[in-house]
Amino acid sequence: MMIIIGIGGGIGAICRYALGNYVNKKHTTIFPFGTFVINILGSFILGLTNHLYLDQSISTTMWLFIGVGILGGFTTFSTFGYEAIQLILSKKFKTALSYIILSTIISIFCAYIGFHLFR
């Protein structure tokens, strides 16, 4: 199982890098849209994948590959924390606060929507 999770993690990290760069090139603002989009999308897909696993529509192996591996490598709480601190250190307090609040609330909401989408 560790190999499956590791392969998934590598795939997720590559996808995070590619999507993050793409989004950041499209939105050149102080707000870290790349990480924001990645974490929201990842939360939605994780909620959906978790529902499929609990509904027994996907196997434990597939859950570990997607949920733990791919999405573990794709989403990035550490980058979120780093970017929030950088905004605070740059005295961009309003942007930092909106980034922290919006990321948290919207990510949880998207995980909820993803989980309940196919009920």
Going residue by residue through the chain, which has 119 residues, state the pLDDT in tens, using 9 for 90 and above. 999 999 999 999 999 999 999 999 999 999 999 999 999 999 999 999 999 999 999 999 999 999 999 999 999 998 999 999 999 999 999 999 999 999 999 999 999 999 998 77
* Residue 118 DSSP code: T
Contact 114, 45 (CB under 8 A): yes
Distance CA 9, CA 13 (A): 6
User: CA torsion sign, 49 to 5 to 70 to 76?
Assistant: positive
d(CA 97, CA 84): 8
Q: What pLDDT does residue 37 have? A: 96
